[in-house]
Structure 1
Amino acid sequence: MPPRILLDLPQLCRLCRPSPCLTNNIQRAFGIKSLNPPKPNRFNVSPGLPVLKSTQQDALERKIKADTLPLRTGVLAIKKGMTAIFDQDSGKRTPCTVLQLDRVQVVSHKTRDKHGYFAVQVGSGWRHPRRLTKALLGHFAVNGISSKRHVHEFRVRDERGLLGVGEIINANWFQEGQYVDARSNTRGMGFAGVIKRHGFHGQDRSHGVSLTHRSLGSAGPSQGGGSRVYPGKKMAGNMGNIQNKLQNLKVLKVDAPNGILVVKGSVSGPKGCLVKIQDAIKKPWPEGTLRQPGSSTV
């Protein structure tokens, strides 16, 4: 039997009582400790930072991203084809695309109070009223606009970019030397295989492969991957006829009487396709008398 150790109560209390120096250093942690605790950053501790608000108006302003929206509306043009411009001094050949504006007119507006965002609805061309729906005919009649073949909206940053309903936009809406962004649908290729559509190299021409040299092969994994075909798998299908955006196209020539706009380089789509042109968001406007949003002269 082990010997007993007898301690009096005052001595036992002195042993169990923590010292004052240890009491000040004790920190109690509640909950689960984070594996990646936040680290101090010199970019989020300055006193002048704005407070992140949670109202609906503040969320809309963050969603709009005002720096990525042009101040002015865009225009609708028809691609007429490609040509080249030669410099007589240097002999340099510059390929370019010819775009033509066909009776581009402001149809209506979209405002933040009524629709949640600012936009200008633009129409171009002409179409017989019998080929339009009654809803679209009523929309044109209320605004006093003739029937248009193409209608599209261009978002703008604020109310300063809203032009008057019924105003005509000519080719001199843009200035020679500035940069624009062009959006149009690419040329449709129809149904295409994986080699033409996605650039697959195909299967071997030997080692037992027969009659499947240009085929896809296995489309999905077996039991370990769920025995299914994953969404977004590159397969054969319709190729082309999707919207493509070309940025920072330089305006070379502007012919206002004929509504001709010549931009440098190529624009997606076949001849006669619709092209949406708007001020480039990644390039500054050129120095000069560029029209400001809200001006009555277009």
Structure 2
Amino acid sequence: MTQIFEQNGLVLPVTVVRVGPCLVTQLKTEKTDGYNAVQIGYSEKKNIQLKKAELGHLTKNGLPPLSHLCEYRVPDPDIEDYSLGQTINASLFNIGQFVNVTGNSIGKGFSGNQKRHKFKRGPMTHGSKNHRAPGSIGPGTTPGRVFPGKLMAGQLGSKKITVSKLEILGIDLKQNLLILKGSIPGKTGNLLNIIPST
């Protein structure tokens, strides 16, 4: 993340994201698969450990080994705009366009109730022995169990998060960079899905 200045002097928080280049690895149509979609691959690597089925899927179409494959639905008329092996990069987007960004949030490990659910702590004085403990978690004899979904300590973060309607403030076609207004999920080097907002 960084910041940029508008012409009137307003400071805007922005995130710089590298987009692709991605290769179209498969075209799915209603005739063959029952729906229209474009499968794209990212991150070309030489010594990558791929399963034979994945490697065969790519080499059959004359494509290099790609470590990440993802599928995107497209409307019926737009499927003809894509071809196998086509490169997709930042030129697909426009300045002023709004996009949705999906990625894994930062994992924070096993966390207690105060950090995970914003619970209040217990009293710190007068002999209290309940400072950060969860306290009572359910009724006694009836029903004699803890209901599912009870807010308790556990894994915090590392979940799929989507941030909607981020505006594209700038595009660098030379380095395939998008400048998005605001923040995105995850940390530096995180893999993201960027799709236009509807």
TM-score by length of 2: 0.91
Whether 2:59 is the aligned partner of 1:144: answer no
Structure 1 segment 85-124 matched on structure 2, within 5 A = 85-87=4-6, 89-124=7-42
SS in 2 for 1:274: coil
1:207 is displaced (CA, Å) by 5.8
Tell me if 1:160 matches 2:78.
yes
Identity of aligned residues (%): 38
Matches within 5 A, 1:196-235: 196-206=115-125, 209-210=128-129, 212-224=130-142, 226-235=143-152
Can you list the C-alpha shifts for 1:66-104, whole angstroms capped at 9, x where unaligned?
A: xxxxxxxxxxxxxxxx111112x4211111111112321
Q: 1:229 to 1:109 in 2, by over 3 A?
A: farther
Provide the aligned length of Structure 1 versus Structure 2: 197
C-alpha distance 161-199 of structure 1, shift in aligned 2 (>3 A): farther
Q: Which runs of 5+ in 2 are unaligned?
A: none
One-letter amino acid of the counterpart of residue 123, structure 2: D
Counterparts of 2:56 and 2:156, CA distance in 1 = 37
Q: Tell me which of 218, 239, 251 is aligned to 2:156.
A: 239
Report the Cα offset of residue 130 of structure 1: 4.5
1:140 Cα offset (Å) = 0.8
**Runs of 5+ consecutive residues of structure 1 not aligned to the other structure:** 1-81, 282-298
- 1:190 paired with 2:105, answer no
What's the CA shift string for 1:235-292, capped at 9, x where partnerless?
11111011111111111111112111111111111000011111101xxxxxxxxxxx
Does the Cα contact within 8 Å between 2:48 and 2:67 map onto a contact in 1?
no
8 Å Cα contact 1:100-1:260 kept in structure 2: yes
| TM-score, length-scaled by structure 1 | 0.62
- Could you tell me how far 1:157 is from its partner in structure 2? 3.2
Q: CA deviation at 1:129?
A: 4.7
Is 1:278 aligned with 2:157? Answer: no
Q: CA deviation at 1:118?
A: 2.3
Extract structure 1 runs of 4+ deviating beyond 4 A.
none
Which whole-Å CA distance do the structure 1 matches of 2:34 and 2:132 have between them? 50
Q: Matched residues in 1 for 2:125 and 2:30: separation? A: 64
Rg (Cα) greater in structure? 1
Decide whether aligned partners of structure 1 residues 227 and 115 sit closer, same or farther in structure 2, where only a CA change above 3 A counts: farther
Larger RCO of the pair (alpha carbons < 8 Å, separation 6+):
2
Specify the alignment match of 1:261 in structure 2. Answer: 178
